[in-house]
Each structure stands twice: as C-alpha cells, then as structure tokens.
Amino acid sequence: MSTVSWITLRGLLGRRRFLLLLPLPVVLVLLAALSRSLGVDPGDWGPPVLVGLGLAVVLPVVALIVGTGVLGAEIDDGTIVHILTKPLPRWQIVLPKLAVASGVTAVTVAVPLFVAGVLADSVRLGLSLAAASAVGALAYSALFLALSLLTRRPVLLGLVYVLIWEGLLGSVVSGTKVLSIQQYVIALADRLAPTGLLQGDVSVPVAAVMSALISVGFTVLAIDRLRSFSVAGETS
Amino acid sequence: MTTISADQAAGTPTAVTSTLDLAGVSRWYGNVVAVNDVSMSLGPGVTGLLGPNGAGKTTLLHMMAGFLAPSRGVVTLDGRPTWRNPEVYRQLGLVSEREAVHTFLTAYEFVLASAKLHRLPDPAAAARRAIAQVEMAGAQDRRIGTYSKGMRQRARVAAALVHEPQVLLLDEPFNGMDPRQRLHMMELLHRLGDAGRTILFSSHILEEVEQVSGTVQVMVAGRLAASGDFRTIRRLMTNRPHVFTVQSTDDRALAVALMAEASVTGVELDRAGLTVRAGDYGAFTRVLPKIALREGIRVRQLVPQDESLESVFSYLVEA
C-alpha cells in the first residue's frame, strides 16, 4: 500500500466521524430482515428499502462522509501540507485517496445492499446491487473529492447535490435524472438483475458512459486543483 | 536513546548549495496588497525574516514554498519556479506556522512517512537520523497527540529535514516554545546554517532574530524595509530619532537650553508643550533633569512617543 493511502486510511478510520458510517448500513439490513421475517411482499418493501434507503441515502451519505474526509479533513486541519511538500506528481496523491475513498465506501455500502438484495429477491439481485453501488461509490467519491478542493464547504455542497438535486428535483423535474449518479446505479443494477423491483429512468448506455465521465472528469479536475493548491491566507 | 554529536547531527557540510530568489514578487487579495514588490536572494546560512504581525511574512513564505502563486513576479529555487512545481521539494523543506500534525501517528511513524513519500533509499535510517537531529529519539514512539507544543514543533522540523533539503523555511518556529526549547531550536538552526544550508525563519520578535541569524530581511506592511547584516540594522534602530513630548513651567527657556545639547536634534514649541527629537535615547533622558535643575525649570511631564516595534519598523521603511 502506498504511503499516501496508508496515512489516508489511518486518518479516516482513526477519526470519530467514521463511526457515523455504521448505523446507516445496519438500519438497511435490519429493515430488510424485518420485512422478510414478517412475510411482507418484496414488491412492497423492496423499492423503498433498496432504492429509497439504500441507493438514495446510504450510498451517497457514506460516500459524502468518506469522500470529503480523505482530502477535505486534511485541508481543514492543515496536515495536507505534509503530503504536498513532497516531490510527488499530484496524481500520485489524488489517485490513492480516491482509491481509499471509493474502496471504503464500496465495502461499507455493498455488503448491506448485497444482504438486502438477497433477502428481497435473489443472490443475483444482491450481487448486481453490490456491483452497481461500487460503480456509484467511485463516481460519488470522485465528485466529493473534487468538491473538497473546489469549495471550503464540500459537505454542505455535497448534501445539496444529494438531497436537492438527486432527491427533490429528481422526482419533480425528469431532466435532472441524466445528471444523477443515483439513477445510473439503479439503471446498472436493474440491467444486471432485472427483477421489477428497480425502476431505472435513464438508459443503461447513458448510465455507463456518464458514470465513467463523472469519475474521470472530477478526478482530472481534482488533480489540476491540487497542483494549484494555495494555503489560505491566514489573518496576517 | 542514541546520542549524537552536533557535527554528525548537522550532517557533513554540503558541497552543493541552493539559492532561493525572489524577483519583484507581489501578492494581493482583491484590493489588499499583502506583499509588495519584494526582491531578495537567499543563500547558505541562517536568515531571519523580521517584521510585525500582518507584515506579509507568512504570505511571502508561502510563495517561497510554492503554496501560493505570486500575483506578480517569480520565486525561483536554483532557477526553477516554486509554484506548481512539486520537484522543488527535493531541495526544499517547510515548517509552517499552523500546528498541523497527524496526531494519531507517533513521531517516528510521522517522520518515516515523510521519508517514504520522498522515496528515500533507506527511509528508516533517514527517519532515525532526522529524529536524532532534533533530539527526539527518546519520545519517538509516543503518539504526537501526547506531545507538548515544543516537541510537536521538533517532530515537524524532523519531518521537514528527513530528506536533507538544501533550503529550509520555518514560519514563526519559536512561537509557543519555552526558553529551553527555544534555545534548542536556535542551536539546531545554527548547526544547519553552518553546514551550508539555506535557512529562513520568520519572527516578529527582534531578540529571536538577533540570537539566531546574522542576516535579516525586515518586512513592514508588505514591503522589504531593510535587509543585510543584523548589527547594522540594529544600529539603525537604536540610533533612530526618539520623540518626546515635554511639559514644563517654562517651555520656551527649556527649548533654548535643549537646543544646545548634542543629543537633541530638534525642538518644536507649540501650545501643548515641547516636542523634542533626540538622537540618543539614553543621553537625552540623562541630560534633561540636569538642564532643568540648572535652569530652575520644573518638568511636569515627559512622555516618550510611540516606542512600539511597529514604529521602529516603520522608521526603517523611511530610512
């Protein structure tokens, strides 16, 4: 493991806010298990739990906490200077951090989604949800990582994207769905395991191409921003 | 704990030296000019960057270290610009003012991580050497979170030194240190400077600079106010005219008597009293009571005007 990923991982797992990640996936699995044990029809509980909670809340929120944490937290407390004063090309800093962010997010989200998918329908749905959410984890992480270099309030802006753009506008204005990572994940998961539980609103090619574009685009942007990283002028 | 002699710790005198050059460097934030047209060349040895708070020292250091783009002008290390050029960090180390450390690491882990990020051939040996240099070997396996401010500072210096940079920049390194830690740090900077490295540290405290460096760059209000040998600048500072306001029972007579004094360079008389300019602070304050006694005048008030460091600095700007 590279030194950058090692420091990033230790910083991430060592901070208390990492514990915030745990309740959401646990709630997801508990809800799925409860619905299943009560014998509720998967057609009734599947969409709200898998999509409404899993893909619309757990995935983006976990990605937000982790994605803004791997670089944003270091920018906030100034420790980023230690990594930046090294003769490393900036992509060697951004890529390991992106790998840690999307890896941690994917593991945290894919496991409970897999379990919930199995409980709702089949192992195939579980696997497809896990795989699609891993793609989503990468796209979200790239977005939130870049946000932490573009603004001083990445968490706030990220929340606005997740709650307002994807959540609110997504259900009212259909055009916004083309720029919604959540919709890509739904489309991809539905393609991998067509069950009728997931309702994708964008086509699979759009979802695949846009996920790739967002992941690569924001990563390139983050690398360029980090190259011109300025230490904020202190009071003096 | 390994002991290490001063000579070993500073490393062998390095044949290769580096020069940091600033050519007409300015930086502004909107309408506020933080650094105004500064040019200087820093070579081997210890240089102090002196100036009151808010003079632009940190902004200048950040530009030197490649963490801020100059609005105008260019900062180069051995001819290569420092902005957007991570390669300069092979020769350059920075200890910023903000006490930012990964508190969850031990000092050894922290310095070792620096060594690895520098891709040094033997990171473990380099880390141990750097830690010995700042005399932290005894505490190297404790988490940085448990350290005192001075120890954290030394851990950060060790991390900045691990690749033996030719140039080391330190922003207010003595802030928050107790006298013993301060002395330690001063000795370390001396050793590094004597070994042929280019060391620049900023400070707003005259005495700190006096004890560590022979050369100073004085910044006031974003401008380079003076630069050169510390003693020359110190002399300029002590010999500057001191201004006093004096009120007495007979200002006119006192003014006449004072004009004859060698230490007095100017006297103004107005309704409020006398404004006296003296070339020598000590001589004037010794001679005033004698004159008053001789002339039979009673001095009611003697107030030295603005003796703050800022006024000393701004005098230098005008000089």
Residues B237-283: tens digit of each pLDDT: 767 778 888 999 999 999 999 988 888 888 999 888 899 988 877 88
Please indicate, yes or no, if residue B181 is contained in any of the structural domains: yes
Instruction: List the structure tokens of A221.
Output: 């942007």
Same domain, B230 and B87: yes
For the cut 70, the answer to whether the pLDDT of residue B50 exceeds it is yes
Residue A236 has its nearest CB partner, among B58, B84, B90, at B58
Q: Per-residue confidence at B311, pLDDT binned at 50, 70, 90?
A: low
Same domain, B307 and B227: no
Residues of B in contact with A10 (CB under 8 A): 102, 104-105
- Give pLDDT tens digits for A43-62: 999 999 999 999 999 999 99
Same domain, B297 and B198: no
User: Using an 8 Å Cβ cutoff, are B218 and B316 in contact?
Assistant: yes
Same domain, B96 and B230: yes
Domain ends where: B234, B253, B271? B234
- Give pLDDT tens digits for A73-112: 888 888 899 999 999 999 999 999 999 999 999 999 999 9
Residue A86 has its nearest CB partner, among B65, B96, B117, at B117
Instruction: List the structure tokens of B88.
Output: 């300069």
- How many Cβ atoms are within 10 Å of B200's Cβ, its own excluded? 25
Instruction: List the structure tokens of A25.
Output: 């996936």
Please indicate, yes or no, if residue B1 is contained in any of the structural domains: no
The verdict on a CB contact (< 8 Å) between B67 and A84 is yes
Same domain, B299 and B182: no
The verdict on a CB contact (< 8 Å) between B54 and A235 is yes
Domain ends where: B186, B204, B234? B234
- With a cut of 0.90, is the ipTM above it? no
pTM: 0.83
Q: What CA–CA distance (Å, rounded) separates A215 from A209?
A: 10
User: Using an 8 Å Cβ cutoff, are A55 and A1 in contact?
Assistant: no
Q: What CA–CA distance (Å, rounded) separates B286 from B27?
A: 46
For the cut 60, the answer to whether the pLDDT of residue B2 exceeds it is no
Same domain, B210 and B298: no
Looking at residues B98-116, what average pLDDT do you find? Answer: 89
Q: What CA–CA distance (Å, rounded) separates A199 from A47?
A: 8
Q: What CA–CA distance (Å, rounded) separates B175 from A236?
A: 15
pLDDT of A35: 94
Residues of B in contact with A96 (CB under 8 A): none
- The helix-helix angle for A23-37 and A91-120 (nearest 10°) equals 20
CATH of the domain at B306: 3.30.70.100
For the cut 90, the answer to whether the pLDDT of residue B235 exceeds it is no
Which H/E stretch holds residue B229?
Answer: strand B223-229
- Give pLDDT tens digits for A148-193: 999 989 999 999 999 999 988 877 887 788 899 999 999 999 999 9
Same domain, B218 and B244: no
Domain ends where: B234, B268, B283? B234
Please indicate, yes or no, if residue B295 is contained in any of the structural domains: yes
Same domain, B87 and B197: yes
User: Using an 8 Å Cβ cutoff, are A60 and A166 in contact?
Assistant: yes
In this predicted model, which residue has the larger pLDDT, A212 or B304? A212
Q: Per-residue confidence at B201, pLDDT binned at 50, 70, 90?
A: very high
Q: What CA–CA distance (Å, rounded) separates A226 from A221?
A: 9
Residues in chain A: 236
- Report yes or no: B89 at the A interface, CB cutoff 8 Å: yes
Mean pLDDT highest for which of A149-158, B47-56, B308-317? A149-158
The verdict on a CB contact (< 8 Å) between B117 and A89 is no
Please indicate, yes or no, if residue B223 is contained in any of the structural domains: yes
- Give pLDDT tens digits for B148-177: 888 888 899 999 999 999 999 999 998 878
Please indicate, yes or no, if residue B192 is contained in any of the structural domains: yes
Same domain, B167 and B248: no
- DSSP 3-state of B271: coil
- How many Cβ atoms are within 10 Å of B300's Cβ, its own excluded? 11
Please indicate, yes or no, if residue B225 is contained in any of the structural domains: yes
Q: Which of B130, B175, B137 is nearest to B153 (CA)?
A: B175
For the cut 90, the answer to whether the pLDDT of residue A231 exceeds it is no
Looking at residues B197-202, what average pLDDT do you find? Answer: 95
Q: What CA–CA distance (Å, rounded) separates B293 from B216?
A: 43
DSSP alpha helix (H) spans, chain B: 6-9, 57-64, 107-117, 123-133, 149-161, 179-194, 206-212, 230-238, 251-259, 281-295, 309-318
Q: What CA–CA distance (Å, rounded) separates A102 from A136?
A: 9
Please indicate, yes or no, if residue B97 is contained in any of the structural domains: yes
For the cut 90, the answer to whether the pLDDT of residue B227 exceeds it is no
Rounded to 5, what percent of chain B is helix, strand, coil?
A: 40, 30, 35
pLDDT of B316: 67
Q: Per-residue confidence at B319, pLDDT binned at 50, 70, 90?
A: low
Same domain, B230 and B264: no
pLDDT of B279: 81
- DSSP 3-state of A144: helix
- Report yes or no: A236 at the B interface, CB cutoff 8 Å: yes
Same domain, B161 and B18: yes
- Report yes or no: B241 at the A interface, CB cutoff 8 Å: no
Which H/E stretch holds residue B93?
Answer: strand B92-95
Query: What is the number of structural domains in chain B?
Result: 2
Domain that holds residue B309: 239-318
For the cut 50, the answer to whether the pLDDT of residue A202 exceeds it is yes
Residue B86 has its nearest CB partner, among A10, A81, A87, at A87
For the cut 70, the answer to whether the pLDDT of residue B306 exceeds it is no
Q: Which of B81, B96, B288 is nearest to A233 (CA)?
A: B96
Hey, which residues 77-116 in chain A have their CB within 8 Å of chain B? 77-79, 81-90
The verdict on a CB contact (< 8 Å) between B68 and A231 is yes
Same domain, B245 and B218: no
Residues of B in contact with A17 (CB under 8 A): none
- Report yes or no: B54 at the A interface, CB cutoff 8 Å: yes
CATH of the domain at B34: 3.40.50.300
Please indicate, yes or no, if residue B160 is contained in any of the structural domains: yes
**What mean pLDDT value characterizes chain A?**
92
